[in-house]
Structure formats: C-alpha cells, structure tokens
Amino acid sequence: MRNSSKRLSAAGFSAALVLLAALSALYLFGGVSAETWDYNIPRRLNILAAIAVVGTAVGLSAVVFQTVTENYVLTPGIMGLDNLYIFIQTLIIYFLGSGEGGMMTSSAHFLLTLALMAGASVGVFVFMFRINGGDVYFVVLAGLVFGIAFGGLSNFMQVIIDPSEFSVLEGRMFASFNRINVDLLGVSAAATAAVFLWLAADFKKLDVLSLGRNPSIALGVEYNRTVLKTLVSVSILTSAATVLVGPITFLGILIVSIARFIFPTYRHCVLVPGTVFIGICILVFGMLIAERMLQFAVPLGVIINFAGGIFFIGLMLKIKRL
C-alpha cells in the first residue's frame, strides 16, 4: 500500500514538473523576437519569480490552515484576509493619499502594509486563540466575522474617498503580476522562504495533527503551540502574497483541492510541494490566457477567482449532497 502511494506521488510530481517546465518555457519564450528579447525576457522572468513566490505562499498556507482547522473547505482567502488587505490599502490612501502610500512603489510602503496586515491578522488569531483556551473553531468564526467587518468598513470609506484616489485604490483591489517591483519581490520572497523553513520543521507534527485535537495530544504533540505557530505563519504568508500582487481569494481552495486529488496522502512533505507546484502551474497558465488570448483585457486575479469561485460552489454542493 505504501509503495503504491509512493509511486502515485512520484508520478504526480513528475507530471507536475513536466507541465510546469512546458508552461514556463512557453510563457518565457513564446512570441519573443530578437528585437524584443531585451525587454520581454527580464520582464517575464520577474513575473515568473513573483508567481513562484505567490504559489508557494498560498499553497503552503492553504494546506496547513486546513490541517489545523480540520476542514478541507476553508482557506485563508475565504476567511477574509483579503478584505483586511483592501481595508489597509483604503486607510493608507485615505489618510496619506495615492501619491504617498497607494502605489506601493518603495520598500518602506510595502513593508508598512505587510507589517500592518501581518500584525493585525496575527493579533486577532493570537488573542482569540488564547482567550478561548485554544479553541480553533472559535478563531475561525472570529476570523470570518472580522473579515466581513473589514469589508464593510472598506466599502464605507470608499464611498467618501476622493474619486481620483479611488481610481488608484481600484487598481490595488485586483491581483496583477504586471507591476512587479523587483526590490519588493525580494522582500516578499525572503519572508515566504523564512516561514516555509520555519514550518517545514513541524511537517511531521502537522501529519499527526490531521488526526484531530485529542489524538494528537495523546500522541505527544504540543497542540496549542503547534496550532498557534501555524496560524501566525499563515498570517505572514497570506500577507506577503497579497501585498505583492493583490488579493486572489479562491486560488488556495482551487490548488489545494486539486493537490489532494492528485496526491491522496496526509503527509505534508508530499502534499505541500505538490500544492505549490500545482499553484505555480495554474498561475502560469492563467498568465498565458490573460496575455496571449485576452490581451490584458482581464486581470489574472479575475480569471483565477472566476474559475475558483465556480469550483468552490461545486465543492459546497457536493458536500451538501453527502
């Protein structure tokens, strides 16, 4: 049984790597001539690097978040962290103006939004987790409520904001890989890599945590510490990905569901890399559609959210039938 599972995982990784290499090569070199080589290749390399960062952050956060919540439908995006990002962007533009804070063209502005978003989400998770004795379901419910509240506050402030400022804000409300700042990409990549290494040491504990709270405690896992560490990591990963390119609400549920189908295992050392590879493949494929077929008429975030939203509705209907 174990050998069969290993063969399936190896076949899945091989297929994902071949697909990723093919899509990346098609995106990087497709339609490039000698005259446009110097412009297109560096720009596309930066976009592929940003896709790798976002795919890693979203994939890792989605898998471990579902593990600690024991729910294969919830992801950080669905929890409302995207609404927190939009709320912070609205606050920055409202109080500082689009010329000062909205465009996020400097590392200082990027780090400001990253710090505010990570700090607020971590604060909510840690506070709610501790005052309820480690009840993760209460934390999830609180996150949903805060997400709705942040969305309502953002809508209220957007009504009273200056129209010219709102046009700048509107550009930040949709994910885009076409305005990547290389300096900001490095900061986001460093944050994502650091959290990945921090969490990787707990993959075996997360394997046990998949059994549930009581069995994991009985097997010697420090449940509260592991869950709290995971929630903090999810907040940082989601913040880094969202601040870099914008909100992509349904990317997490889409890629983790596909990964669980291709890699039917509880082992995070297999499931996390599989989800990351699938996330990067989907984002590269989406960029090919957005650039080559739709000629930039539709942002990549809209395409991903459209496909992911349909998938999420189908998943909910399937669960209801069961």
Range from 35-39, 63-67, 94-98, 228-232 carrying the lowest mean pLDDT: 94-98
The predicted pLDDT at position 275 comes to 93
Q: Tell me which long-range contacts 153-162 makes (C-beta under 8 A, separation of at least 24).
A: 153/87, 153/90, 154/83, 154/86, 154/87, 154/90, 157/87, 157/90, 157/91, 157/94, 158/90, 161/90, 161/93, 161/94
CA distances (Å), origin 45, targets 17, 189, 275, 290: 18, 14, 22, 17
pLDDT at residue 60 greater than cutoff 90: yes
Range from 24-28, 67-71, 257-261 carrying the lowest mean pLDDT: 67-71
Question: Are 233 and 64 spatial neighbours (Cβ–Cβ below 8 Å)?
Answer: yes
The predicted pLDDT at position 135 comes to 65
**How far is residue 265's CA from residue 258's CA, in Å, rounded to a whole number?**
12
pLDDT over 90 for what percent of the chain?
11
Task: Read off φ and ψ for residue 58, nearest 5 degrees.
Answer: -70, -45
**Domains of the chain, CATH where assigned:** 2-321 (1.10.3470.10)
**How far is residue 242's CA from residue 231's CA, in Å, rounded to a whole number?**
16
**How far is residue 54's CA from residue 157's CA, in Å, rounded to a whole number?**
28
More confident residue, 174 or 161: 161
The predicted pLDDT at position 279 comes to 92
Please report the DSSP string for 306-322 in residue order: HHHHHHHHHHHHHHHH-
**How far is residue 151's CA from residue 149's CA, in Å, rounded to a whole number?**
5
pLDDT at residue 93 greater than cutoff 60: yes
Residue 178's contacts (CB-CB under 8 Å, 6 or more residues apart) are: 47, 296
Tens-digit pLDDT profile for residues 252-279: 888 998 888 888 888 888 899 999 999 9
pLDDT at residue 102 greater than cutoff 50: no
The predicted pLDDT at position 8 comes to 65
The predicted pLDDT at position 319 comes to 62
pLDDT at residue 175 greater than cutoff 80: no
Q: How confident is the model at residue 109 (pLDDT cuts 50, 70, 90)?
A: low
CA 136 to chain centre: 20
Tens-digit pLDDT profile for residues 191-206: 899 999 999 888 888 8
Mean pLDDT (the chain) is 79
Q: How confident is the model at residue 232 (pLDDT cuts 50, 70, 90)?
A: confident
pLDDT at residue 103 greater than cutoff 50: no
The predicted pLDDT at position 94 comes to 76
More confident residue, 47 or 84: 47
The predicted pLDDT at position 194 comes to 92
Q: How confident is the model at residue 225 (pLDDT cuts 50, 70, 90)?
A: confident
The predicted pLDDT at position 101 comes to 46
